[in-house]
Amino acid sequence: MQQWEYLFLSVEGDQGPLWKEKNVVVWTSDGRWKNEKLPKAQTPITGILNQLGAEGWEMVNCGGLSGSNSYVQVLPSGDFQAVFKRPKS
C-alpha cells in the first residue's frame, strides 16, 4: 500500500492582507521556512509552488489570496495556505 508524506505551507502578509503587502511571511511544516519575512517581489507564491512541484510535491488542498490578479480561492484573512503530498520513500 502506498504511503504518503505531507507538507503544509502558509504565506501571509507581513502586517496585513497578503495582496496589499510588500513583504510576506513564509512557513512550512518541514522547517525550510520558519516564519521568514521575505520580499514578495523576490519570492512570488508561484515560485514557491514551482519549487515544491519540482521536488515531487503535489498540491492536494489550498485556499487563499484575494484582491485583483488572484488565481486561487479567497480566504477571508487574505492569506495563502496549502497542503502537499508525495510518495514516501
Distance CA 53, CA 16 (A): 28
Alpha helices in 1-89 (DSSP H): 45-54
H/E stretch holding 2: none
Predicted structure pTM score: 0.73
How many domains does the chain contain in total?
A: 1
Q: Helix or strand or coil: residue 58?
A: strand
Sheet holding 4-13, edge to edge: 34-39, 23-28, 4-13, 80-87, 58-64
Q: pLDDT tens, 17-73?
A: 666 667 778 889 999 888 877 776 666 677 888 899 999 999 998 876 544 444 444
Residue 43 structural domain:
4-87
